[in-house]
Structure 1
């Protein structure tokens, strides 16, 4: 199964983690980062995975650091541009974009069911899976302008 971009993380929390790492001169222990973010390690791990998959950080021996030193402050537009470039090649987004394009439009329920069939559910509870997929696509697909959404039909499409 391909590596999946964490579906429960949002742009604001990722940017917050990156800002804190920057405040620590680009390197911080995971325990210190958990203290700074007020996150439990279990909740911090998906955020760190997202930072790593977007190419910003790496983790080694319990220390998180920027891949490139020194990492300049990451502007919102630079962050969104980077995510817009990288996310379409990552699962489950890659499959969502392909399915929506092939079918011209799909409902959240259809996407959630198909992703589950392909072994990529956001949650193993069907009702929660549909909710989580909708949230993920709202956070990333809409904000990055890769998808459009018709709320009355709960339907996703590409321009």
Structure 2
């Protein structure tokens, strides 16, 4: 499979992850039911489904830690008051950057994807905010990580 096609599939998976995390965070819906409903309504390859599960469950299970990282990087923006889209985008990106040990997506690819999701689904300022938070996190936590391969 070519890089462009893989990147496009991963973009669709990240959109699904964003929408699932947003729904779960804003409602009392059970995360496993929301995820399974999404997989039923929008079939995808086994690889994409595994990536979706990893993003959704990983970001959700680590949300307290990820939220602390967000608040350190943006102390004037408490996570509790943050728009749901921005919060979900940042949780997904930070999970990929800091926690995911199954694969290491290049930093630039994670940031670009997060900024695109923020542009597509967030407010007018979301993409700048997301880019700023992720830039701060990368400087603080990942400055010595060598990423030369693009997704």
Whether the TM-score (by the shorter chain) exceeds 0.5 is no
TM-score of the two chains, using structure 2 as the length reference: 0.37
**Which of the pair has more CA radius of gyration?**
1
Normalising by structure 1, report the TM-score: 0.36
More helix by share: 2
